[in-house]
Amino acid sequence: MNTMAEPQNITGFGKWAQRLVSCYFWFTLFFISAVLFPVSITLWLTTVLFDRRRYLQHWFTCRWSDIILGINPYWKITVEGREKIDPRQVYVMVSNHQSGADILVLFKLHRHFKWVAKKGLFRIPFIGWNMWLNGYISIERSRGRSKLQMMDKAAESIRDGNSVIMFPEGTRSRDGNLQPYKTGAFRLALETRSPILPIVLKETHLAIKKGGLLIHKNDRIRLIVLDPIPYSSFQDLDSKELAHLVYEQTKQALA
């Protein structure tokens, strides 16, 4: 049962205003990205030889996201529990997935990590190219071999000292309700003996609906970091049991 509020229907002048705001958001997103991408290339060229983890590159990308969110008057984001993230610890981070806004919002963690993202996103001008500069991990969902390669790259990235963030639902929710969790992220945590950091996104599905481009007003977006789950507490579970455990924690936090 969906208990989350839906945006009210907008008619007349309100529709045109919403379209104008949406055009403003997407224009500024790509304009700012076009302006900042040369800076990102310069940063990559000057740090690639000594910053193997691309820590500075990711730090710059977090600020890039902050700028884009900062010029959007329609959204207000509250971050809770960021202090639970130990910057010296490497995690498998798992988040529910509600919207195209999720990636921008999750950069608000302001912590170092590598994304696991669809290969197609890396082809988006400026934004996707910057993902490549960051050394984020691509996957083609329809190809089993790509999934195996992704798992190998993610495990290698963790061994190099990078947290990895994944959406275990695999795709965005249409209505904000939590979909079943796939086991990939949890197999990764078991294989690398890494703690799991559950993350909960609330109300982002009301900001951008799945399959749409219109920007909806939402001042109740919440990014919530739950308590980390140490490896010692789940080492005897299999990946399905672990996925169910984290799923239930996330579902409870969403309720």
pLDDT computed for residue 144 by the predictor: 67
pLDDT tier for residue 1 given thresholds of 50, 70 and 90:
very low
d(C-alpha 77, C-alpha 202), whole Å: 10
pLDDT digits (tens, 9 = 90+) for 109-122: 999 999 999 888 99
pLDDT tens-digit readout, 192-207: 999 999 999 999 998 8
Percent of the chain predicted with pLDDT > 70: 93
State how far the Cα of 93 lies from the Cα of 114, in Å rounded to an integer.
Answer: 10
Q: What is the mean pLDDT of residues 35-49?
A: 97
- With a cut of 50, say whether residue 215 has pLDDT above it: yes
Whether residue 68 is predicted with pLDDT greater than 50 in this model: the reply is yes
Mean pLDDT across the chain, nearest whole number?
Answer: 91
pLDDT at 219: 86
pLDDT computed for residue 18 by the predictor: 82
**Each residue of 119-138: pLDDT tens digit?**
889 999 999 999 999 999 99
The pLDDT, as a whole number, for residue 86 is 96
Task: Give the pLDDT score at 3.
Answer: 44
- pTM equals 0.89
Residue 15 has pLDDT above 70, yes or no: yes
Q: What is the mean pLDDT of residues 57-80?
A: 94
Among 78-82, 89-93, 96-100, 229-233, name the one with the lowest average pLDDT.
96-100
Mean per-residue pLDDT for 222-245?
97
All domains of the chain in start order, with CATH: 13-254 (3.40.1130)
Q: What whole-number percentage of the chain has pLDDT above 90?
A: 73
Write down the pLDDT at residue 142.
62
State pLDDT tens for residues 140-150. Answer: 866 667 788 89
pLDDT at residue 236 in the model: 96
Residue 172 scores a pLDDT above 50: yes
> Average pLDDT of 83-105?
95
